[in-house]
Amino acid sequence: MSKVKVAIIGSGNIGTDLMIKIIRNAQHLEMSVMVGIDPNSDGLARAKRMGYSTTHEGIDGLIQLPEWQDIQLIFDATSAKAHHYNWKIIQQYPDKKVIDLTPAAIGPFLIPPVNFETSQEVRNVNMVTCGGQATIPMVAAVNRVAKVHYGEIVASIASKSAGPGTRANIDEFTETTAHAIEQVGGADKGKAIIILNPAEPPVVMRDTIFTLSEQADRTAIRKSIHEMVEAVQQYVPGYTLHQEVQFDDIPEEQAVFIEGLGYRHGLKTTILLQVRGAGHYLPEYAGNLDIMTSAALATGERLAAGN
């Protein structure tokens, strides 16, 4: 069976890690071109050493290469601003699909174990954010048992794992993740917070998820959460519960005010996660970057398998 040829735009940490994952682990994808804008980037140098075509002239350089004709899938690991420019060009070629790893959110949000089936025919899918990929499966796991009124996530990542692209996109991170908590996770209202932890040695990614839902069987919620963790572990083995799920009752007489929703009461669920990276190109503590590249690879594999 022939593999789907891919290009990666963005030769930084995320793009380079994704390239190595595709080369090592992909069953249905074949690396073709690495695209950057810095001719001295390590990602371009590595791709060239491994025999792949490269360009440091961005999307404009990519479409001039002879390999462009055969490429069916493009991963965009640049920035939200750059993706808007890239997509204007790519959408002119109807045989190409894009998996967007930036918070640009041009295409619909995609979390592989939650809503892959709804996005198969779309040409541009958005992988939300690292925090979204880690936490939205948990909001969805609660929501499939008990209607979630409010979902709040706090993503804590090592400062060293937050490069220029991540730092430039912090506003987009919080907005995009909050929208996806609602649209994919199923919450009526979502909120996202990111913390850059400067601790030395660097700490692995930690995520805390709070949901306020209707009352439901706690055993059923816990079971749903554990099943979702196992689903994510299929492509991110380092994704684990940091401790057992916690529950608290919010009685009607102590209802909390949620902006846009008013007063709500019910069941508060607290989920604490740890995400350790695979250590392919990035250090293991950079689970925030690893979960993005792993989710993008999982999405690309499923899209290619359906061709």
% of the chain exceeding 70 in pLDDT: 99
Give residue 307's pLDDT: 56
Tell me which residue of 259, 258, 254, 252 sits closest to 214, measured CA to CA: 252
| Least reliable range by pLDDT among 1-5, 9-13, 132-136, 252-256 | 1-5
Distances (CA, A) of 119 to 36, 88, 205: 27, 20, 28
Residue range(s) of every CATH 3.30.360.10 domain in the chain: 130-285
Residue found under tokens 């069941």: 267
Which helix (H) or strand (E) is 209 found in, with range?
strand 205-213
Which structure tokens are listed for 201?
């040695």
Mean pLDDT, the chain, rounded, equals: 96
Per-residue pLDDT tens for 52-99?
Answer: 999 999 999 999 999 999 999 999 999 889 999 999 999 999 999 999
Whether 120 has a pLDDT exceeding 80, the answer reads no
Tell me which residue of 304, 289, 280 sits closest to 25, measured CA to CA: 280
One CATH from 3.30.465.10, 3.10.20.740, 3.40.50.11270, 3.30.360.10 for 130-285 = 3.30.360.10
Instruction: Spell out the residues 6+ positions from residue 13 whose beta carbon is closer than 8 angstroms to its own.
Output: 163, 281, 282, 286, 289
Residue range(s) of every CATH 3.40.50.720 domain in the chain: 4-127+289-305
Give residue 164's pLDDT: 78
Categorize the per-residue pLDDT at 1 as very low, low, confident or very high, splitting at 50, 70 and 90: low
% of the chain exceeding 90 in pLDDT: 92
Per-residue pLDDT tens for 144-180?
Answer: 999 999 999 999 999 999 877 788 889 989 999 999 9
pTM given for the model: 0.95
Tell me which residue of 35, 38, 46 sits closest to 68, measured CA to CA: 35
Per-residue pLDDT tens for 41-57?
Answer: 999 999 999 999 999 99
The CATH H-level (homologous superfamily) assignment of domain 4-127+289-305 is NAD(P)-binding Rossmann-like Domain (3.40.50.720)
Residues labelled catalytic: 130
Tell me which residue of 72, 29, 1 sits closest to 296, measured CA to CA: 29
Give residue 78's pLDDT: 93
